[in-house]
Structure 1
């Protein structure tokens, strides 16, 4: 983002080119960075936290087992002391370690390991349950759906001028700069020809925040924005860099943020599965609109500040939507904290990752739907485990209290019940290579 004399520079910005002299206007809590952190702290307080069913019933169930065991022993103590002790032991054995206590953690640990092997770090286990209720997925653009760096899109050249020659000149000039746009021009030429065959240039100079100038066989050259090249501002959606000589315009290169390889198909799969997909970005509205069309998103919003993103997300939640936020930047921190469930990309800033429930270490957009489907699968298996655990205890505990279940059989039943629950949970250890067509 070019900055001119008198413009504000936000704390935490990276300087890509020449040294600059700045005056500090705000310190500490007054900076934009601190304001974003404050927004995240406020959002974190309001974030819903769901408790698992097994955790809610574990303590009363424990007291029930203890009362049942000792109550049975007391009732039978007056008759046969040995039988009273065996009944109490059978009640304790048949439920400890109880399948009920293994039903949830076995599944959670298994799915977290399976996801980690596929490049997804689970930071908050309880978010898996919330993920099954999601109906809206909100994406950031830069770094989340787009590849790192920029790329060159359409190239327009004046009549009679060869496109490869124009790209060669532009790449030769751009090779003297570390600016992302310059690097995109160099890479574009390298993709076509394998290397940059530098055009004969002399006196190449970079003008900070403006562009590059050079001398060539065509005379003085300029490479930069329309304003720098004294051209009319383009009306299209894409931003452009222009090459001009003393005699006039030579070529224009549209600058694009290339979508990740799996972005289009992954977003299509999400929408086909019934999820509303929204794009929020701090970039200009024309750039966001252009990118959204490219990846197939209909609902997009540009020029969003961190507060704008947070307000938009709160409106969705107040309308009854369960929102999954996917982002990676500093501006995404507040919305990641407020969302019902949040996912940060592995290349994102630490501040964003700290507020997320999941981190996609491999940066693949396709993992979002896989994560949702596996969360639903996990909840199904947990429910199966809980149903089995309840049924097992409803049948076996009364039998043990009645003295119809000897200690050895109680131990065998306990072991088999626990193995069944763990075995069912181990089904989560393998994830599909392709997205299952189930919701």
Structure 2
């Protein structure tokens, strides 16, 4: 009697779509795994990832992140295991999957509560929109300070009008920030 057991990782349903979307966004996607070369290569080819690094220890994962960042790359690391924790900590942005280990979730900058890889795309889009709104808010705050304060100090602008302009500037910044909520709904996965 003979028996053959095949054990392999199951590819998540959304993995291929997420990798495709990341590539469309001009993002380089790599798989860094502690698994053997055959398993890692197989999964990488199924999801469309060109670069797969296998048999990587936790230290090797961290060193890879450090090396890539020292070359000027912005690294977003996604992981769920104990062996991902050092790399999650080292990466510019570390994201832990919600069903991962406690140490991975503690090490990461963000935790995706739902175990859905599409949330990585949502997270990235929301981060870009938030950063854009922050830059707009800084512009308007400086615009007010550069124009209204010198005019008020020199006596050209009445202090009451300057105070009103400052309040209006603050309200604009708050209102502009609230747009994140609207964009948040538009980005939902």
TM-score norm. by structure 2 comes to 0.90
Alpha-carbon deviations, 1:378-423, whole Å to 9, x = none?
Answer: 1211111111111111111122112233343233212211111111
Higher relative contact order (CA 8 A, sep 6+): 1
Structure 1 position 338, deviation (Å): 1.1
Q: What pairs up with 1:34-433 in 2 under 5 angstroms?
A: 248-249=1-2, 252=4, 254-430=6-182, 431=184, 432-433=186-187
In the alignment, the residues of structure 2 paired with residue 360 and residue 337 of structure 1 have an alpha-carbon distance, to the nearest angstrom, of: 16
In the alignment, the residues of structure 2 paired with residue 349 and residue 264 of structure 1 have an alpha-carbon distance, to the nearest angstrom, of: 24
Q: How many residues align?
A: 187
**CA contact 2:99–2:115 (8 Å) conserved in 1:** yes
Q: Which runs of 5+ in 2 are unaligned?
A: none
In the alignment, the residues of structure 1 paired with residue 187 and residue 62 of structure 2 have an alpha-carbon distance, to the nearest angstrom, of: 34
**CA contact 2:126–2:187 (8 Å) conserved in 1:** no
In the alignment, the residues of structure 1 paired with residue 132 and residue 181 of structure 2 have an alpha-carbon distance, to the nearest angstrom, of: 15
**CA contact 2:34–2:54 (8 Å) conserved in 1:** yes
In the alignment, the residues of structure 2 paired with residue 356 and residue 335 of structure 1 have an alpha-carbon distance, to the nearest angstrom, of: 9
Greater fraction strand:
1
* SS of alignment partner, residue 6 of structure 2: strand
Partner of 1:75: none
* SS of alignment partner, residue 325 of structure 1: strand
TM-score norm. by structure 1 comes to 0.40
Greater fraction helix:
2
Q: Which runs of 4+ in 1 moved over 6 A?
A: none
Alpha-carbon deviations, 1:294-316, whole Å to 9, x = none?
Answer: 21111112211112212222222
In the alignment, the residues of structure 1 paired with residue 95 and residue 75 of structure 2 have an alpha-carbon distance, to the nearest angstrom, of: 11
In the alignment, the residues of structure 1 paired with residue 21 and residue 149 of structure 2 have an alpha-carbon distance, to the nearest angstrom, of: 47
In the alignment, the residues of structure 1 paired with residue 64 and residue 159 of structure 2 have an alpha-carbon distance, to the nearest angstrom, of: 60
Q: Which runs of 5+ in 1 are unaligned?
A: 1-247
Q: What pairs up with 1:18-37 in 2 under 5 angstroms?
A: none
Question: What RMSD over aligned residues (CA atoms) do the two structures have, in Å?
Answer: 1.8
Alpha-carbon deviations, 1:308-335, whole Å to 9, x = none?
Answer: 2122222222332221111011001111
**CA contact 2:149–2:162 (8 Å) conserved in 1:** no
Alpha-carbon deviations, 1:38-81, whole Å to 9, x = none?
Answer: xxxxxxxxxxxxxxxxxxxxxxxxxxxxxxxxxxxxxxxxxxxx
Q: Which has more radius of gyration?
A: 1
Structure 1 position 252, deviation (Å): 4.3
**CA contact 2:144–2:166 (8 Å) conserved in 1:** no
* SS of alignment partner, residue 65 of structure 2: helix
